[in-house]
Amino acid sequence: MATISFDLVSPENLVFNDEVGTIIVPGKDGDLGILPGHSKVMSSLRPGRVMVYSEDKNLIKSFFVSGGFAEINPEKCIVLAESVVEVNSLEKTSIEKEIQELENKEGKESEEQLSVAKAKLEAINVNYYDKI
């Protein structure tokens, strides 16, 4: 089976770079599953999980991104994300606390942060896509 090269880039560094089987990215209008040979797409992302699978459909890694862009062509998929964390390293209690604090604040900025934090919490709680 074919593989597709996947780069996950944050402003600070190159987080992930390898040949993989499948990637799922949280596109703005809905999740995109990317297999080798995907047509050329450029999409912006919403906060959510970027899931990386090996050729035999085993989950290798899942990242949380707070938004960004994906550029996809048949051989390569590049995700530019503003902040990247591995889902496993997220802590539920600290995020819940953050949400509580942000809910009391007002303003556009904290609203944005709140939606990112809520998406983070969701990323920990849900487990669909764990097996595909």
- Contacting another protein (CB under 8 A), which of 6, 22, 43, 117? 43
- Contacting another protein (CB under 8 A), which of 18, 19, 28, 33? 28
Distance CA 119, CA 6 (A): 23
Q: Which is nearer to another protein, 41 or 99 (CB)?
A: 41
Cα angle 48, 68, 33 (rounded to 5 degrees) comes to 55
Q: Does 73 bind another protein (CB under 8 A)?
A: yes
- Contacting another protein (CB under 8 A), which of 27, 85, 90, 121? 27
H-run or E-run covering 120: helix 108-125
User: Does residue 98 contact residue 117 with C-beta atoms inside 8 Å?
Assistant: yes
Distance CA 80, CA 65 (A): 9
Contacts with another protein, residue ranges (CB under 8 A): 7, 9-14, 27-29, 32, 39-44, 67, 69, 71, 73, 78, 80, 82-83
